[in-house]
Amino acid sequence: MQMRKSVQNLKVIANLQLNEDHHLLKLLVPDQLENIVPGQFANILVDQSQSIFLRRPFSIHTVDYQNNIISILIKEVGEGTRSLAHAQVDSYLNVIFPLGNGFSIPKSNEKVLLVGGGCGVAPLLHLAQFLSGNLNSINILLGARSVGDLVELDQYSIYGKVFTTTEDGSHGEKGFVTDHSIFDLAIDSFTKIYCCGPEPMMKAVAARAKASSVDCEVSLENTMACGFGVCLCCVTETIQGHKCVCTDGPVFNINQLKWQI
């Protein structure tokens, strides 16, 4: 059964610094975890800050059903993320989760490509974890500015074949993810592309997918006040009008979006 959303105080049981600005928080969930769909997110209260008023949304990065642990990948970009990235072990975070709709999961054995860039890689580890249980052929393409920005490559490689690009050529192929040779060599062989990252990157990937008629889902980001569909602040333009990124998404099929690609 899919887990219902709730507000919970989760204990920080580990806070691992992955590189200069990325932290991995492991949060213990008191009750038995039910199914969380890859791509769903958590909205976390920033308690220690005077100037941060609203919660901060993060993709659920991994789910450990055996030990009732979810992990959150946090990149420090502002005061809110900085405060959360330095959460003390044994402290508690107030979290609303799981929120939103996740990626659609193929029923049968399919060949899929996961493309992530920057902090947008966050939901893809959970997705890779989940898809590997379905015996899918999983290919993961991760892009970053430089080798130091690529985190947890060993974790992704547990579930699939990992490819990388860096803008400075310090790891994998040089350039953006869409410059990777996999697009020219093998894009037709994928039944589905899942993508998460900065919007220009997702649009570029979506354009390649569309040109090759490969089904493609993207996970969008937007400023949101509530995260559960009542403030109507985080809308995006779709073929059915304005839709909330938080409840109608964050994952959308590119056919639903009005992107000029």
Partner 1 sequence: MADLSTVIHNIKLKNPVLTASGTFGYGVEFDDFFDVNLLGGFIVKGTTIHPRQGNSYPRMAETSAGMLNAVGLQNAGAQYFANEIYPKLTKYETNVLVNVSGSTVEEYVACAEIINELDHIAGIELNISCPNVKEGGMAFGTSCPSAAAVVSAVRKVYKKTMVVKLSPNVTDIAEIGKAAEGAGADSLSLINTVLGMAINAETRKPVLSTITGGLSGPAVKPIALRMVWQVSQAVKIPIIGLGGIMNATDAIEFFLAGASAIQVGTANFIDPLATVKIIDGIDDYLNRHKISAISELIGCLHL
Judged by the rule CB under 8 A, the positions of this chain that interact with partner 1 are 4-7, 45, 51-55, 94, 96, 222-237, 241-242
Least distance in angstroms from the C-beta of 67 to partner 1: 24
Nearer to partner 1, 129 or 236 (CB): 236
The answer to whether 75 and 197 are in contact (CB under 8 A) is: no
∠ CA(155), CA(158), CA(162), 5° rounding? 80
User: Residue 100 Cβ, how far from partner 1 at the closest point, in Å?
Assistant: 13
List, in order, residues 6 or more apart from 18 with CB less than 8 Å away.
24, 73, 151, 152
For residue 36, give Cα distances in angstroms to 100, 126, 141, 238.
Answer: 10, 9, 23, 25
Least distance CB 240 / partner 1 (angstroms): 11
By C-beta, is 57 or 120 nearer to partner 1? 57
Residue placing its CB nearer to partner 1 in the complex, 15 or 219: 219
Nearest CB to partner 1, comparing residues 51 and 66: 51
Looking at the Cβ atoms of 44 and 216, the one nearer to partner 1 is 44
Place of tokens 């993320």: 81
What's the closest the beta carbon of residue 225 comes to partner 1, in angstroms? 4
Look up tokens 């985190």; give the residue: 151
Q: What distance lies between CA 139 and its chain's CA centroid?
A: 16
Q: What are phi and psi of 106, to 5 degrees?
A: -65, 140
Least distance to partner 1 from the beta carbon of 253, Å?
20
